[in-house]
């Protein structure tokens, strides 16, 4: 019986609530598909700070190193906002985890079911068939990690802060490959987003991406767009894109824009894949919902578990090679939410809203 060994890091606020629903779905699927689940939970983020004195405890990191994938919840919230920026859950847990496992490729599907177009701030007439795009974001380079990164006091007494944007050819090529492979399984269209009219890193990015696709993926339609224009085009006509592909900070910003035009954050999953292979020879990855910890609704049993459940499906797809099982989970979510209209409050729009548990029950019933 194939064993799926993964670390479960629920995190803070709604993190643990939606995580337990994703685990129920996985348990159900495992029984049906004859898979053995082997997972252990560990503290991360604020929970790490509260119980171990740091956002990414050594024991949590050790557990992740033993695993073939990480199923991540969400971290951060008001309780830890007064800590120095470098110690806060987001910066002290998520960024070091990405770095520790070289999780250079962030894949965020921007999917809005046609029946859910109400959830989007865009007019339904603009997106009659919903939205179906993917954002591929470089995740371990650029201005997030470049050195120097510091604040100094100048001779005249004023402060000066420095962040450094750095990219090298190999970093650009490996993420270009992920974009190409993603596009190949979809509409074979990649739009690479940069700021090549201003930034050196973007000039290199555009040159390397162009050459890489010409040499390795000549059949994929590659276009380039400046990031300011891409932000505008995404709001104007999101489906002009198939795969949006960009560097770290641009991807951070554009993926949030993509998330909001796709309606509820409660529906969006993501995968961060590394250079490393797991014990199955597949990409080691971290899988997390895009929506954050939602402190305002934590503890009320109303959070939408779909994004966490869909993140678990991505884990099966990428780190365990179980695409068919992932398809089934995704279809069950779609059937519950879109076809049968079982909705949590964030996507209810006047329908009676169900709670977190009832939502996952509805998904399990359709598996």
Question: Which residues would be at the binding site for ligand IPM (CB under 6 A)?
Answer: 90, 94-95, 252
d(CA 129, CA 258) in angstroms, rounded, equals 16
φ, ψ of residue 64 to 5 degrees: the values are -65, -40
Q: Which is nearer to Mg ion, 68 or 90 (CB)?
A: 90
The CB-nearest residue to Mg ion is: 252
| CA 354 remoteness from chain centre | 25
**Binding partner of 177, given ligand IPM, Mg ion, none, CB within 5-8 angstroms per partner class:** none
d(CA 217, CA 199) in angstroms, rounded, equals 26
Closest contact distance (angstroms) between CB of 109 and ligand IPM is 14
d(CA 17, CA 304) in angstroms, rounded, equals 9
Q: Which is nearer to ligand IPM, 270 or 360 (CB)?
A: 270
- Decide: is 252 part of the binding site for Mg ion (CB under 5 A): yes
Note the residue count of the chain: 367
**Binding partner of 94, given ligand IPM, Mg ion, none, CB within 5-8 angstroms per partner class:** ligand IPM
Residue pair 194/202 in contact by the 8 Å Cβ criterion = yes
Q: Which is nearer to Mg ion, 265 or 367 (CB)?
A: 265
Helix (H, G, I), strand (E, B) or coil at 285: strand
Closest contact distance (angstroms) between CB of 260 and ligand IPM is 13
**Binding partner of 199, given Mg ion, ligand IPM, none, CB within 5-8 angstroms per partner class:** none
The CB-nearest residue to ligand IPM is: 90
Q: Which is nearer to ligand IPM, 90 or 171 (CB)?
A: 90
- Kindly tell me the burial class for residue 284, based on how many C-beta atoms sit within 10 Å of its own C-beta (0-12, 13-18, 19 or more): buried
- Decide: is 257 part of the binding site for Mg ion (CB under 5 A): no
Active site residues: 144, 195, 228, 252, 256
Closest contact distance (angstroms) between CB of 137 and ligand IPM is 8
Closest contact distance (angstroms) between CB of 286 and ligand IPM is 10
Buried b (16+ CB within 10 A) or exposed e, 151-168: eeeeeeeeeeeeeebebe
Helix (H, G, I), strand (E, B) or coil at 347: helix
Q: Residue 300, Cβ neighbours under 10 Å: how many?
A: 13
**Binding partner of 90, given ligand IPM, Mg ion, none, CB within 5-8 angstroms per partner class:** ligand IPM
Closest contact distance (angstroms) between CB of 127 and ligand IPM is 23
Which residues, 6 or more positions from 7, have their beta carbon under 8 angstroms from its beta carbon? 39, 40, 41, 42, 60, 63, 64, 66, 67, 69, 70, 71
Residue with tokens 């270009």: 176
Q: At what angle do helices 248-261 and 227-236 cross, to 10 degrees?
A: 10
- Decide: is 173 part of the binding site for Mg ion (CB under 5 A): no
Closest contact distance (angstroms) between CB of 108 and ligand IPM is 8
d(CA 342, CA 363) in angstroms, rounded, equals 9
Bridging pattern class, strands 159-162 and 150-153: antiparallel
Q: Which is nearer to ligand IPM, 253 or 331 (CB)?
A: 253
Bridge partner list, 114 = none
Q: Which is nearer to ligand IPM, 122 or 271 (CB)?
A: 271
**What is the binding site for Mg ion (CB under 5 A)?**
252
């Amino acid at each position: 019986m194939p064993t799926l060994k993964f670390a479960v890091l629920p995190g803070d606020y709604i993190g643990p609530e939606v995580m337990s629903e994703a685990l129920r779905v996985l348990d159900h699927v495992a029984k049906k598909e004859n898979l053995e689940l082997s997972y252990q939970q560990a503290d991360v983020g604020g929970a790490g700070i509260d119980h171990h004195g740091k956002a990414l405890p050594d024991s949590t990191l050790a557990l992740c190193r033993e695993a073939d994938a990480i199923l991540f919840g969400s971290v951060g919230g008001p309780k830890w906002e007064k800590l120095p920026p470098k110690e806060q859950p987001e910066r002290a847990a998520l960024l070091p985890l990405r770095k520790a496992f070289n999780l250079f490729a962030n894949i965020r599907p921007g999917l809005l079911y046609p029946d859910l177009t109400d959830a989007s701030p865009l007019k339904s007439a603009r997106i009659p068939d919903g939205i179906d795009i993917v954002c591929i974001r470089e995740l371990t380079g650029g201005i997030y990690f470049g050195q120097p990164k510091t604040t100094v006091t100048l001779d005249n007494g004023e402060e000066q802060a420095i962040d450094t944007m750095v990219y090298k050819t190999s970093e650009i090529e490996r993420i270009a490959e992920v974009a190409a492979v993603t596009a190949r399984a979809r509409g074979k269209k990649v739009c690479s987003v940069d700021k090549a009219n201003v930034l050196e890193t973007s000039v290199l990015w555009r040159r390397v991406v162009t050459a890489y696709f010409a040499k390795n993926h000549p059949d994929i339609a590659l276009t380039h767009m400046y990031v300011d224009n891409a932000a505008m085009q995404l709001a104007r006509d999101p489906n002009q894109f198939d795969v949006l592909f960009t560097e770290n900070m641009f991807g951070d910003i554009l993926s949030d824009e993509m998330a909001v035009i796709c309606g509820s954050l409660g529906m969006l999953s993501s995968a961060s894949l590394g250079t490393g292979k797991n014990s199955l020879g597949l990409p080691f990855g971290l899988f997390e919902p895009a929506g954050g910890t939602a402190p305002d609704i934590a503890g009320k049993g109303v959070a939408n578990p779909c994004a966490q459940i869909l993140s678990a499906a991505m884990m099966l797809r990428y780190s365990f090679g179980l695409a068919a099982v992932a398809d089934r989970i995704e279809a069950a979510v779609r059937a519950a939410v879109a076809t049968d209209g079982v909705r949590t409050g964030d996507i209810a729009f006047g329908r009676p809203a169900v709670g977190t548990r009832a939502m996952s029950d509805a998904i399990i019933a359709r598996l």
